[in-house]
Amino acid sequence: MTRIGFVRHGVTEWNKERRAQGQSDIPLNESGRLQAQLLAERMKEEGWDCIYSSDLSRAKETAEIVASVIGLPVYTDQRLREMHKGKTEGTTLEERIARWGEKWENLELGIEADSSISSRGTSFISEVIALYPGRNILVVSHGALIALTVKALVPEQDINQHILNTSVTVLECNGVDWSCELFNCAQHLTGVAQRIR
């Protein structure tokens, strides 16, 4: 059985401000680093064999904090980057409406298609499970990439919820079929909400 553990990066200032990050390279803030440390404590008991990350700094630093606790190197792959948000990167919803109107989502603003994102994610997964058959692979990435890749591999999985910062989603492959054993779990953050702002 091959296991993939998807983790969304820790929180950033743009997350707090509800700005579209896309592939802009926005770093973790202090709360994001705390989230990653709490995640690392959880991960050290879970038997991961390797860690891959998006090359964007918010994901890579999250992965490096986990890696420093569980004693593994971090490998990066550009396919694990977030959805490219085109002209909307750096904007809030209010700014998008002010600039392009209520129906801004119907405009051609250079936003990457869902099919492109899921194709990047599944391409990476196919490659990594061939390299590490029967192993436990931790993948630190971004909300849209995680949700759309999960949906492509496990079509029956409901992905219509906000992917939480540092949440864990675990997929298992028996060599033929994928199943989702855990989705969007952030139990390691329970009780620390007041410290994460």
For residue range 82-102, list pLDDT tens digits in order: 999 999 999 999 999 999 999
The pLDDT of residue 55 is above 70: yes
Judged on CB neighbours under 10 Å (0-12, 13-18, 19+), 64 is: middle
Residue 112, judged by CB atoms within 10 A of its CB (0-12, 13-18, 19+), counts as middle
Return the CATH number of 2-84+113-195, one of 3.40.640.10, 3.40.50.1000, 3.30.420.40, 3.40.50.1240.
Answer: 3.40.50.1240
Each domain of the chain, given as residue ranges in start order, spans: 2-84+113-195
Q: How far apart are CA 23 and CA 97, in angstroms?
A: 21
The two structure tokens encoding residue 195:
């410290």
Interatomic CA distance for residues 72 and 66, integer angstroms: 9
pLDDT, tens digit, for every residue of 147-183?
999 999 999 999 999 999 999 999 999 988 999 999 9
**Percentage above 70 pLDDT, the chain:** 96
Residue, of 56 and 176, whose pLDDT is higher: 56
Catalytic residues: 9, 82
pTM: 0.94
